[in-house]
Amino acid sequence: MSEAADVLPASRPVARFVLKTLAWLPPSFAVWYFGAPVLLWPAIALVRLVARVGLPDLVRTVEQSGAVCVFATTLKPGQALALSGNITVDVNTLLYAFGLPLYVALVLAAREPGWQRKLALGYVVIIPFVAWGVLADFLKNVAITSGQFVASQTGFSPLQNELIAFAFQFGSLILPTVVPAVAWVLMHRRFLEALREPGLRAG
């Protein structure tokens, strides 16, 4: 997996590390994509738990369909009698979980002692933030982008809508990439020290 990196001298540890990471990214993405229904099950279970505890009047059920989180709500789509069903909202969980393969590639490229434990720990750290993104996406859908009639049924105040908008933006633009990077940095302090110290081997 790291043959290309091995041709670089040890005096260029960052370049070696980058090449190894790039080499690990495709298989990491493949495992992540095809294993998503299993890998992301805990995130959806967490979303289900939060919805049940925090949004019982809004969400009837949260189901998983592959990598998609399906929210069945209590909200009506319109006032007409013909529109008597309830709204469902689909959220693609992958949109908030692409940091997982990045984290895996970084850990495998550094390959420090205890890398298996670091993989497991990183997964545990990242999953709640995936749940954050999914939940914020759902709330943004029903409270902001679904139109006045649906939004009015949610009962959210203007301030709550602002918080939902911020949580969605932060959960979609910042957290999915920053959390894996921060988790990796925090769990690889010795590796980073070795990158700074000439004579110590990193990567």
Partner 1 sequence: MVRFFLLFLALQAALFGAELSPWVQTYFVIPWTNQLASISAYLVTLFDPNVVATGKVLRHAVNGFAVSIEAGCNGVEATIVLLAAILAFPAPWKNKVIGLLAGTVAVQGLNVVRVISLFYLGQWDFQVFEWAHLYVWQALIMLDVLIVWLVWVRTLPKTQGSDGRKPPPGSAGLRGSAGAPAPAPS
Q: Does 30 bind partner 1 (CB under 8 A)?
A: no
* 81 phi, psi to nearest 5 deg: -60, -35
State how far the Cα of 93 lies from the Cα of 136, in Å rounded to an integer.
11
- In the complex with partner 1, the residue whose CB is nearer, 49 or 186, is 186
Least distance in angstroms from the C-beta of 189 to partner 1? 5
CA-based nearest residue to 95, from 26, 42, 168: 168
* 111 phi, psi to nearest 5 deg: 45, 60
Which range in 10-18, 45-53, 66-74, 119-127 contacts partner 1 by CB under 8 A? 10-18
Which listed residue (14, 30, 120, 200) binds partner 1 by CB under 8 A?
Answer: 14
Sign for the pseudo-dihedral over CA of 89, 100, 180, 119: positive
158 is written with which tokens? 């203007």
**Helix (H) and strand (E) counts in the chain:** 10, 3
Q: Evaluate whether 18 touches 3 at the Cβ level (below 8 Å).
A: no
Which range in 50-58, 79-87, 147-155, 176-184 contacts partner 1 by CB under 8 A? 176-184
State how far the Cα of 171 lies from the Cα of 200, in Å rounded to an integer.
37
Which range in 69-77, 91-99, 134-142, 144-152 contacts partner 1 by CB under 8 A? 91-99
Which listed residue (61, 145, 166, 201) binds partner 1 by CB under 8 A?
Answer: 166
Least distance in angstroms from the C-beta of 76 to partner 1? 31
What is the binding site for partner 1 (CB under 8 A)? 14, 17-18, 21-22, 25, 29, 94-95, 98-99, 101-102, 106, 166, 169-170, 172-174, 176-178, 180-182, 184-186, 189, 192-193, 195-197
